[in-house]
Amino acid sequence: MTGGLSLLACCLACAALPASAPPRYPASAPPRYPASAPATSPTSEPRAIAVPPALAAISRLEPSGLAWAPALDRFLVVSDDTGLADGDDEGAPWLFAMDRAGRLDPAPLAIRGVERVSDLEAIADAGDGSYYLVCSQSKSSRGKRPAKRTCLIRIAVEGRTLRALGQIDLLGSILDAARAEGGAAWLRELGLQVAGTAVPGRRDVQLNIEGAAVRDGALLLGLKQPLDDRGRAAIWELRQPDRLFTTRRLRRGDLSRIASVALTAEVGGRSAPAGIAELLALDDGGLLIAATSPTRGPQSGALWLLLRGGAAVRVASFAGLKPEGVSLGPDRGTLYVVFDRQQETPQWATLPLPVVPPH
């Protein structure tokens, strides 16, 4: 194949809810949901996502995750940034709806019950009509880490409306659990780079979460940073996530590192260690990982398949593109991938599920 996507042969994943005004839709872009297009072929070259002018006029779109929503007959797309820079709606709690032909609806979907978000990086289907949304937990380019960047949110799709079921300060909960039970040693067990015995403050932790998936009732979280001293990316398992929303207290035993995965992407024509940009739990128990380098600049990302036994195999690569979101389509046999291209029009592609023959 040409044009950016190549399949490889396989041989062998806040604080209490603030009061919020009703969602605002610009008068020029009322919510409309045209009939969804038929599914595309199982494999397609990356192509531009169709962004309606009405949507481009009110929001940036840097896709960082997606999940199929049967109730909407659409993919829910999360974006690093929402609204226009320095505009009244910058950081608005919006998701975006994309049909199977890569066409965005002209109006965003507002999340009722959430005031602001920043750097949304992942969406995970909980399997019951609800979804987890994960902000990166990272510092901004200005070195700040406000609460709107450290949210873990659960939403429900109710007709054509999104409603927040709960919202937690994830990083704050982790640091509180460390102070109460685990200490700095537990943070190191999670793969965080912590020196000494003191639990660091919010400003002193390197952490960037960009992947999320639900498997066997647990919420898996994939780290973009930090990588360990062998260049491997960590996958965390948050058991009983509903209890965290109910009790608003994380216990040490609820969060653990379950894997450290060696991934690579191509940077400057050379293979480089990569972090996790997306996780997708497959029906057969495998975990699909989108991998991109933490370094800035042009690169070629990849998809990797992590089997339950721990082996990871690369199943696709994307020349000059960074895969940021991966979802199963409605037929459960086609992968949809979205690519963030910063200031340029984002792209999407489809490919078949990877098949790994038994040993």
Indicate whether 208 belongs to any domain.
yes
* pLDDT of 25 strictly over 50: no
SS (H, E, C) 170-225: HHHHHHHHHHHHHHHHHHHHCCCCCCCCCCCCHHHCCCEEEEEEEECCEEEEEEEE
Considering only CA atoms, give the Rg of the chain: 19
The average pLDDT across 120-149 equals 92
Dist. CA 259–CA 145, nearest whole Å: 26
**DSSP-derived 3-state class of residue 106:** coil
Question: Which residues lie below 8 Å from residue 164, measured CB to CB, with a gap of 6+?
Answer: 17, 111, 112, 113, 114, 153, 154, 155
Assigned token pair, 59:
């929001």
Task: Supply the pLDDT for residue 42.
Answer: 58
Which is it for strands 5-7 and 264-267: parallel, antiparallel or unpaired? unpaired
Higher pLDDT pick, 161 / 214: 214
Q: What is the pLDDT of residue 277?
A: 98
Residue that the structure tokens 């690569």 belong to: 317
> Whole-prediction pTM value?
0.88
Judged against a pLDDT cut of 70, whether residue 30 lies above it is answered with no
Percent of the chain beyond pLDDT 90? 72
Tokens linked to 306 = 């992590």
**Nearest residue to 354 via CA among 12, 2, 1:** 12
Mean pLDDT computed over 272-300 = 93
Assess if residue 37 is contained within a domain. Answer: no
| 335 domain-assigned | yes
pLDDT reported for residue 342:
84
Tell me how far CA of residue 328 lies from CA of 65, 125, 350, in angstroms. 12, 10, 10
Residue ranges making up the domain that contains 152: 5-13+45-350
Query: What's the total number of domains in the chain?
Result: 1
- What is the C-alpha separation between 95 and 78, in angstroms, rounded? 5
Say if residue 341's pLDDT is above 70: yes
Beta bridge partners of 316: 7, 303
Whether 18 is covered by a domain: the verdict is no
**Mean local confidence (pLDDT), 295-306:** 91
Region 94-113 average pLDDT: 96
Residue 2 scores a pLDDT above 70: no
pLDDT on residue 207? 96
pLDDT at residue 246 tops 70: yes
Burial (CB < 10 A; 0-12, 13-18, 19+), residue 109, is buried
Q: What CATH number is attached to the domain comprising 276? A: 2.115.10
**Which residues 6+ apart lie within 8 Å of 134 measured at CB?**
120, 121, 122, 123, 124, 151, 152, 153, 170, 209, 212, 221
Give Cα separations from 279 to 9, 49, 103, 245, 333 (angstroms). Answer: 21, 21, 23, 22, 17
pLDDT bracket for residue 54 (50, 70, 90): very high
Asked if residue 320 is part of any domain, the answer here is yes
39 part of a folded domain: no
Q: What number is the average pLDDT over the span 108-115? A: 96
Instruction: Say if 21 falls within a structural domain.
Output: no
User: Which residues are CB-contacts of 225 (< 8 A; sequence separation ≥ 6)?
Assistant: 138, 206, 207, 208, 275, 294
d(CA 327, CA 53): 25
Assess if residue 98 is contained within a domain.
Answer: yes
Sheet with 323-328, strands from edge to edge, namely: 47-48, 347-352, 334-339, 323-328
User: For residue 27, is pLDDT > 90?
Assistant: no
